[in-house]
Amino acid sequence: MPAKITISKLRKMKQNGDKIVMLTAYDASFAQVLDQQLVDVILVGDSLGMVMQGHESTVPVTMDDMVYHTKMVSPACHHSLILGDLPFMSYTSTMDAIKNASRLMQEGGAHMVKLEGGESQIENVTQLSRHGVPVCAHLGLQPQSVHKLGGYFVQGRDQKTADKMLDDALVLQDAGADMVLLECVPVTLADKITQALDVPTIGIGAGRVCDGQVLVLQDMLGISTKAPSFSQDFLTGQTGGIAGAVAAYIEGVKSQTFPSDEQCFF
């Protein structure tokens, strides 16, 4: 098996134009399949609130839920880097951010943590980075804020919010963020942010211009009840089963055939 994926390896992949492949997993069985297929990053996302627990949003997910599922994933991973979500209201202060990030890493086995928000998260990112915690910032559509937003909508379509998102990405990078996830962002904006940053960008509904792609595993397998328009079912018609679907997704990301123009926002 190839060497373990690290933060420095992800940066090198960006520099070399080698697309980064990310998928979610929430248990050992699926994590093992993804790891064996050489998925670069496994995201233990708070999306588990919807696809595992049946909620309508990620808001009900607790810190204990995240630690538990990350702990289930980590023993199965020998190649993939494990990224764990900090759930809703778990990083409202820097002390909470440090405490809960340490739980994800010490108890759960995560290698990096993800938090939602722009400029307001500068101090959290700065302090986490100073304490040796790799951070992925999450910009664009932020599912933890769905009730504030009033639904799931594309973000950054007007010039003011687009400029703010680019500024947020740059200041978060300066604060120490090692990666930036862009969700439901127009392709032109995702391209501008990707070109401006030294750290990798990961897109979900942000076009193939990003340095990598992520999908929720259940969406990629076509078993979600509400799969988003930017997703794709890689399992149906796949003779290789789940492992074959994962391999097809990896190939789609690496060859830049996924996402297609129809799965992007302009």
Structural domain range at position 215: 7-263
**Secondary structure tally for the chain: helices H, strands E:** 11, 8
Burial 226-238 (b: 16+ CB within 10 A, else e): ebbebbbebbeeb
Task: Return the number of other C-beta atoms located less than 10 Å from residue 264's C-beta.
Answer: 19
7 Cβ neighbours under 8 A, 6+ residues apart: 81, 111, 112, 134, 178, 179
pLDDT tens column, 221-253: 999 988 899 999 999 998 899 999 999 999 999
Q: Is 123 a catalytic residue?
A: no
220 part of a folded domain:
yes
Question: Please, are residues 127 and 95 in contact by the beta-carbon 8 Å criterion?
Answer: no
User: Per the structure, how many domains does the chain have?
Assistant: 1
217 part of a folded domain:
yes
Output the pTM of the full model. 0.97
Select which of 123, 183, 251, 262 is catalytic. Answer: 183
184 part of a folded domain:
yes
Question: Please, are residues 96 and 124 in contact by the beta-carbon 8 Å criterion?
Answer: no
In this structure, what token pair is assigned to residue 203? Answer: 């897109």
2 part of a folded domain:
no
Q: How far apart are the C-alpha atoms of 168 and 137, rounded to whole Å?
A: 10
215 part of a folded domain:
yes
pLDDT tens column, 24-53: 999 999 999 999 999 999 999 999 999 999
Q: Which domain CATH number covers 113?
A: 3.20.20.60
pLDDT tens column, 88-126: 999 999 999 999 999 999 999 999 999 999 999 999 999
236 part of a folded domain:
yes
